[in-house]
């Protein structure tokens, strides 16, 4: 993908020191480990993976809420080091998973939606009420809800309020962090359709973070698959869903048809549990769960390889992106 990037990470790593108890000091946890990801302007990039893979840390880094330990974040090509928190907030806004907890129950909808304007001192206070009314129109809510409180609204209405709050700053990029997973199935498609309409209307760029692959397939132009802090596969959406290469991606795709779609949590059927990120396995960190594991996988981390725009980090594709063969697959005990 050669389009200009609205948002980009360059070899970003984020390490947290995690206490091991009073006498045992702390250990480093690499929540994000050398991630380079471009989000082209006007596109939707999906970021998928299980809980704990580093998706939310990535979101916090992109939003300027968390400093990376190394690497850089570029906003339209310019380093984040040159931007204040306020400047980042004008460009990038989040929509979080749970509209029940992300809206202050003691504040009116007008106060909630206008909050970014107040915090960042945008426009004249006398205009804020009118701007809230316009945003309620945009997200399909009647203006009378401005005087309501979150507890008086349905889940779908609350998520529309959260979207209005995000868009009132007229951001270029919206980080949608599991935007529908807390909603009833019947409401999810309405919110996804609203997000798509708003993307066209306002020329938005989305990073869609989700463990619900059906949502990502519906929305995303390009998809990155994250495992233990690394992007292990990245491709255009059609390519990734029709020709998944990394064994982890294949396991995730095999989990789409879970018996409980409301949960949106993939059951990857991988057997071995998700490893402890404080003490990751050597070699390829996916090897204890990988049905295609080879001897080399247990000792050497795979290098990223690119076949056109299809990037894979796996020894099976370490060369020219050759597909796996029967002779070297599946020797995991």
Which residues of this protein are in contact with ligand SF4, per CB under 6 A? 246-247, 284, 286-287, 290, 292-294, 297, 302, 314-316
Residues 6+ apart with CB under 8 A from 110: 129, 132, 146, 147
Closest by CA to 35, choosing from 52, 47, 51, is: 47
Q: Closer to ligand SF4 at the Cβ: 91 or 245?
A: 245
Least separation in angstroms between CB 322 and ligand SF4 = 13
Q: Closer to ligand SF4 at the Cβ: 30 or 315?
A: 315
Question: What is the edge-to-edge ordering of all strands in the sheet holding 310-313?
Answer: 92-95, 173-177, 205-210, 44-48, 222-227, 230-236, 310-313, 304-307
Least separation in angstroms between CB 307 and ligand SF4 = 15
Q: Closer to ligand SF4 at the Cβ: 86 or 328?
A: 328
Q: Closer to ligand SF4 at the Cβ: 142 or 282?
A: 282
Q: Closer to ligand SF4 at the Cβ: 82 or 323?
A: 323
Least separation in angstroms between CB 295 and ligand SF4 = 9
End-to-end CA distance of the chain: 39
Least separation in angstroms between CB 225 and ligand SF4 = 11
Least separation in angstroms between CB 240 and ligand SF4 = 15
Least separation in angstroms between CB 89 and ligand SF4 = 38
Q: Closer to ligand SF4 at the Cβ: 215 or 228?
A: 228
Least separation in angstroms between CB 247 and ligand SF4 = 5
Closest by CA to 275, choosing from 332, 211, 227, 333, is: 227
Q: Closer to ligand SF4 at the Cβ: 158 or 287?
A: 287
Q: How far apart are CA 162 and CA 326, in angstroms?
A: 50
Closest by CA to 220, choosing from 229, 210, 230, is: 210
Residues 6+ apart with CB under 8 A from 74: 5, 7, 8, 9, 10, 80
Q: Closer to ligand SF4 at the Cβ: 65 or 272?
A: 272
Question: What is residue 246's DSSP assignment?
Answer: S
Pair of tokens at residue 164: 């209005």
Least separation in angstroms between CB 299 and ligand SF4 = 11
Least separation in angstroms between CB 270 and ligand SF4 = 11
Q: Which contacts qualify for 80-87: CB closer than 8 Å, 24 or more apart?
A: 86/120
Closest by CA to 107, choosing from 156, 161, 143, 63, is: 161
Q: Closer to ligand SF4 at the Cβ: 52 or 71?
A: 52
The sign of the CA dihedral 78, 81, 86, 89 is positive
Pair of tokens at residue 74: 């570029």
Instruction: Yes or no: say if 114 and 44 are a contact pair by the CB < 8 Å rule.
Output: no
Pair of tokens at residue 72: 């850089």
């Amino acid at each position: 993908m050669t389009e200009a990037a609205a948002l980009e990470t360059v070899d970003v790593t984020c390490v947290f020191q995690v206490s091991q108890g009073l006498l045992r000091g702390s250990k480093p946890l690499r929540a994000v480990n050398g991630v380079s990801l471009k989000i082209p302007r006007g596109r939707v990039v999906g970021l998928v993976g299980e809980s704990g893979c580093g998706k939310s840390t990535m979101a916090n880094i992109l939003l300027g809420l968390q400093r990376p330990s190394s690497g850089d974040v570029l906003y339209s090509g310019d380093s984040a080091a040159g931007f204040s928190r306020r400047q980042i907030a004008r460009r990038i806004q989040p929509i979080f998973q749970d509209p029940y907890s992300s809206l202050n129950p003691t504040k009116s909808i007008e106060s909630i939606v206008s909050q970014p304007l107040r915090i960042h001192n945008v426009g004249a206070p006398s205009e804020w009420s009118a701007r809230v009314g316009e945003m309620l129109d945009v997200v399909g809510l009647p203006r009378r809800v401005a005087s309501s409180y979150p507890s008086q609204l349905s889940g779908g209405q609350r998520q529309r309020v959260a979207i209005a709050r995000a868009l009132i700053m007229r951001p270029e990029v919206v980080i949608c962090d599991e935007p529908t997973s807390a909603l009833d199935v019947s409401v999810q498609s309405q919110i996804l359709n609203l997000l798509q309409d708003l993307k066209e209307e306002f020329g938005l760029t989305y990073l869609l973070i989700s463990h619900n692959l059906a949502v990502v397939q519906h929305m995303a132009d390009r998809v990155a698959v994250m495992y233990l802090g690394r992007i292990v596969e990245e491709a255009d959406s059609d390519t990734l869903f029709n020709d998944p290469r990394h064994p982890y991606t294949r396991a995730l795709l095999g989990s789409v048809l879970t018996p409980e779609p409301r949960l949106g949590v993939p059951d990857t059927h991988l057997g071995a549990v998700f490893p402890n990120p404080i003490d990751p396995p050597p070699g390829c960190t996916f090897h204890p769960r990988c049905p295609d594991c080879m001897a080399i996988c247990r000792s050497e981390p795979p290098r990223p390889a690119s076949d056109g725009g299809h990037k894979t980090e796996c020894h099976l594709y370490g060369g020219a992106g050759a597909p796996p063969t029967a002779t070297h697959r599946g020797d995991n005990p």
